[in-house]
Structure formats: C-alpha cells, structure tokens
Structure 1
Amino acid sequence: AEAATVASKALQVAASKKGSPYRYGATGPGRFDCSGLTLYSFKKAGKKLPRTAQQQYNKTKHVSASSRKLGDLVFFHSGSNVYHVGIYAGKGKIWHSPKTGDVVRLQKIWTKSVWYGRVR
C-alpha cells in the first residue's frame, strides 16, 4: 500500500499543476518541463527522482503496459533514447508538461513507443 500511496499522491500533485506553463529546465512550482513535473510531483509525495527523463527511466522499476498502474511514469522513446516523460493517469492518459508554448495537461498517449517505470 505504501508504494500506491506515493504514486497516487504524485499523480494528484501533477493534476493540481494543470495549466502551469511549460519552461525548459524548470522544476516548479509554477513552471515545468516534462521531467521537472515528474520530479516535483514525486518529491512532494516523498520520493526523490533524478533530473532528466532518461535518468528517471534508468532509476525506475520497468513494468509492462499490461501491468501499468496509476502513478507509474510513462517514458516516450525513440530507439533507446528516452525523450519525454509523463505520469500515468489511467484510461490511456497521462499528466505531462508537453512543450514550449503549452501547459501541464491531461492527454491521451499518442504513440506505441512508450515504456513504463514504477518509482520505488
């Protein structure tokens, strides 16, 4: 239950940042880039994550799409290179900070090229 609490709390934190503007290199509390949002959300939930999406992927327990749970991290990749991360919100959607000019929002996962990681 402990892990579930952290993940669901991080998910709530990310959702509470809805509408916050994207800024490259920002880790909150007012602006975020993608890994900045996940780092901030898990920090608030009591877990420390590394700074970049790739480092976060390396640090999580990798899980299959069929065993993904709410609050797991969703890593978008091109080959072996992780370039984006969000927090799984259920029903094939993630909370994430997409890109410059955009804001933190809930969005459907748009590609099959994703890996899932559980923060432990």
Structure 2
Amino acid sequence: MSHTAHIPSHRKPRRSASKLAVRAGVAGGVLSTLAMAGTASASPAAEPATETTLEMPVLNMDLGSEVSSAVIKAADNTRAQALVGELTAQEETARTGAAAEAKLAKADAQAKADAEKKAADEANRQADADRANRASGRTQLASASASGSSSSGSSADSDDSGVRAPATGSASAIINFARNQVGKSYVMGGTGPYSYDCSGLVQAAYRQVGVSLPRMSQDQSAEGSSVSLSNLQVGDVLYWGSRGNAYHVAIYSGGGKFIGAQNSGTGIVERPLSYDPPTGAVRIL
C-alpha cells in the first residue's frame, strides 16, 4: 500500500484550460516557497530527512460567471453610449430644423415687406406721373382761358379765386353724392357703390339728378358746353387732356376744389385745383 494512500481524493469534474492554468500557477508558487524554506534551513550536520505530505489547494473560482458578467456589463455600456449618441443626434437635427424654419420665415417676411414697399412706391410714382401728364396740357388752354375770362368775367358772380359761387339744386345734389364717396377705393372700371374709377364716379353723381352721361372720360368731356377754368360753377365736369379725348375727369365742388377718383394710391379725394390743375371744363347742367 502506498504511503500516500491516507490522503483523501479530491477529484472534481474536469475544468477548463483557464482554470487549470490558474491552479498550476498557484501550485508552482507554493512549491517554490517550500524549496526556498528548505534551502534556508539546511545545516552542515545533515539531519535525517522527514517525508512530508502536502495537500494541494483547490480553487473554487467560477471564471465563467465573472467573464459573463463582464460581457453583460460591457454590452450595457455600449447600449447606453449608443442611446446617448442617438439622443444627441436627434437634438442636433431638431436645432437645425428650427433654425432653417426661422430663416425661411424671416426671408418670407422680408419678401412681403419688400413687395408692399414696392407697391407703395409704384402707386406714388403713378400718382406723380398722372399729375405730370395732366399738367402738360395746361399751356394749350392758356389762350382760350384768357379770352373766356374777358368775355364772361363781367357777368359771373365770382369769389376771390375768380370762380363762381356754389350753386344750389341739382348741382348741390351732385356734389353731395360725390362728397359722400370720398375715402372709397379707386378701381379701374369701378362704377360703385364701393369703388369707382374717375368716369364711373362722374357718371354715378350725375345719375342722382337724372342725367345720363357716357361711361368713358373722353366721351364725358365732349358733353355740354365748354367753360373757362376762371368761370367755373359747382357741378361742372373737369377734364385732363383735350376735349373729346380726355384721359381723366372730375367734378368741380366749389371754393377752388374738385372731387375725383384719382388713382389706386389716393382713392377718391377732394383736393384744390392747384394739386393737379385740369386742362378744361364742360358745363352739363
């Protein structure tokens, strides 16, 4: 019987290569320590060697569990980092989108403001052009106005401006209607009741007293009889251009003023004759 038979068996199921490597390392360390101790205790007088039986330590480390735990932890960290990255990307996309929308809204607002300014500038330019065009015919009337003044000035009841005093009756009804339209819009082709062009306003005003006038400015300027601008009376039709070929008409309202649908920029207004001096006038009543 072997002298080591009394050592109990410690057989366990076969372990993996990693566990065997750990056991071998521990065992080697223990043997090295014993060898060093034996060398240090040697003396010149050798003593009989005593046989010593060593019991190898058993490692109970579960390396598989630790590795699995480490892998799970690493996977959790990776997922957490991926989630953080995804959230960061979404936030960046949202910021970029908001900035783009704000930029677009600003561009739209600027474009709208530019368009409104352009429209206002165009309306003012058109008004200036209309005044310039109407003023171009004034010299053509100068000689006729002078002769008309000499022939009729003595028989007219004039005020300080050289024009007749306001009339009553039908003329008053025409002016009252026209004055009630002041402030409404000018619309090309408009005949009321919410908007008018120049000849539409004159036609509608004369309709109040039962007088039917043609629709167009040039035809209205050919109606009635010509009168001097210095011999006007309330209700006379003023025209710009030439008689029978006028491009604008209005109604003399007395006191050196007229009422007319001027343009889209001003609408229907009452202004002094000096604002836009007419070329001539006709008397229909």
Q: How many residues align?
A: 118
Q: Deviations over 1:70-110 (max 9, x none)?
A: 11111111697411111101222100000123321101223
Give me the whole-angstrom Cα distance separating, in 2, the residues matched to 1:85 and 1:8: 18
1:64 paired with 2:228, answer yes
> 2:195: which partner in 1?
31
Query: Take 1:55 and 1:48, find their aligned partners in 2: how far apart are those partners?
Result: 12
Give the 3 Å change call, closer, same or farther, for CA 102–111 of structure 1 in structure 2: closer
Residues 239 and 246 of structure 2 are in contact (CA less than 8 Å); yes or no, is this contact kept in structure 1? yes
Q: What letter corresponds to residue 256 of structure 2 in structure 1?
A: G
Q: Comparing both structures, which one devotes a greater share of its residues to helix?
A: 2
Compare the two structures and name the one with the higher strand fraction: 1
The aligned runs of 1:41-60 (5 Å cut-off) are 41-60=205-224
Matched, 1:11 2:175: yes
Cα offset, 1:5, TM superposition: 2.1
Give the match's secondary structure for 2:188.
Answer: coil
Give the equivalent residue in structure 2 for 1:102: 266
Indicate if the aligned counterparts of 2:222 and 2:243 stay in contact, CA closer than 8 A: no
Q: Distance in 1 between matches of 2:235 and 2:269?
A: 15
Structure number with larger C-alpha Rg:
2
What's the CA shift for 1:7? 1.9
Whether the 8 Å CA contact 1:23–1:31 is kept in 2: the answer is yes
Q: Is the 8 A contact 2:171 2:234 kept in 1?
A: yes
SS at match of 2:246: strand
Distance in 1, matches of 2:192 and 2:278, equals 27
Is 1:116 the equivalent of 2:284?
no
Which residue identity does 1:119 align to in structure 2?
A: I
Structure 1 residues 17-60: Cα deviation after superposition (integer angstroms, max 9, x where no partner): 11110000111111100000000011012211000111001112
Say if 1:78 and 1:113, in contact at 8 Å, map to a contact too. no
Q: Which runs of 5+ in 1 are unaligned?
A: none
TM-score (norm 1): 0.87
Q: Give the TM-score, by structure 2 length.
A: 0.39
Instruction: List gaps (5 residues or longer) in structure 2.
Output: 1-166
The AA in structure 1 aligned to 2:185 is P
Secondary structure of 1:59 counterpart: coil
> Relative contact order: is structure 1 or structure 2 higher (C-alpha 8 Å, sep ≥ 6)?
1
1:4: how far off?
5.0
RMSD of aligned Cα (Å): 2.0
Q: What is the CA-CA distance between 1:111 and the residue it aligns to?
A: 4.4
- Counterpart for residue 92 of structure 1: 256
Instruction: Give the Cα separation in 2 of the matches to 1:79 and 1:27.
Output: 22
State the AA in 2 paired with 1:88: Y
